[in-house]
């Protein structure tokens, strides 16, 4: 079962989050997961995926303009409809808009006929609400993302298990 984690990233935080999600997916032993920037997504691979997770940095509490344009241009050609979907975000500050970013991505995914999944509270700790968030700035001076690593990995595991279940690859 193929899964893709697709992101926009200028300074590497969202790319790092995407790589952790893919690591969690691959760790289930039941997924071939790859992380792609919107600038170098393997389109054949994405079309064949059972699930796609999309992430963005918070830019003024919005997804990036590049990711927004990429989603508008790609949904049909990458056959998003019917796939399991998830969303994640990174931000510099607590309450820096990541939840709004995730909601916008989820909305675009639903408009394109995707089946959105977060794991939610179903599995207990860590409780992932709409999707995993990494805060890089005001938590620690250096590498603030590291403390969110487990959330991204666990989200990847939960997403891969659900994708396997609903696509008959379980």
Taking CB under 6 A as the criterion, which residues in 45-74 touch ligand FMN? 57-61
How far apart (Å, rounded) are the C-alpha atoms in residues 75 and 8?
Answer: 16
Helices (H), 96-148: 98-111
The answer to whether 151 contacts ligand FMN (rule: CB under 6 A) is: no
> Please, is 166 exposed, middle or buried when counting C-beta atoms within 10 Å of its C-beta (0-12, 13-18, 19+)?
middle
Which range touches ligand FMN (CB under 6 A), out of 7-15, 35-43, 79-87, 149-157?
7-15
Give the binding-site size for ligand FMN (rule: CB under 6 A): 19
Burial of 61 (0-12, 13-18, 19+ CB in 10 A): middle
**Residue sitting closest to ligand FMN (CB):** 96
69-108 positions binding ligand FMN, by CB under 6 A: 90-93, 96-97
Q: Which of 74, 112, 118, 136 binds ligand FMN (CB under 6 A)?
A: 136
Closest contact distance (angstroms) between CB of 90 and ligand FMN is 3
The token pair that represents 159 in the structure block: 């997403």
CA atoms within 13 A on the CB side of 73: 10
CB of 139 to ligand FMN, least distance (A): 11
- Interacting residues toward ligand FMN by CB under 6 A: 9-15, 57-61, 90-93, 96-97, 136
């Amino acid at each position: 079962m193929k899964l893709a984690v697709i992101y926009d990233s200028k300074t590497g935080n969202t790319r790092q989050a995407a790589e952790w999600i893919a690591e969690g997916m691959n760790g289930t032993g039941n997924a071939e997961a790859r992380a792609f920037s919107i600038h170098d997504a393997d389109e054949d691979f994405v079309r064949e995926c059972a699930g796609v997770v999309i992430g963005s940095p918070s830019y003024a509490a919005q997804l990036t303009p590049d990711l927004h344009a990429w989603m508008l241009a790609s949904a049909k050609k990458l056959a998003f409809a019917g796939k399991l979907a998830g969303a994640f975000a990174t931000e510099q500050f607590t309450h820096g808009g990541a939840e709004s970013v995730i909601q916008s991505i989820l909305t675009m995914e639903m408009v394109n006929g995707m089946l959105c999944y977060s794991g939610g509270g179903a599995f207990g700790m860590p409780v992932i609400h709409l999707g995993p968030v990494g805060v890089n700035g005001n938590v620690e001076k250096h590498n603030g993302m590291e403390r969110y690593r487990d959330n991204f990995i666990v989200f990847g595991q939960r997403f891969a298990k659900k994708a396997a279940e609903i696509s008959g690859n379980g």
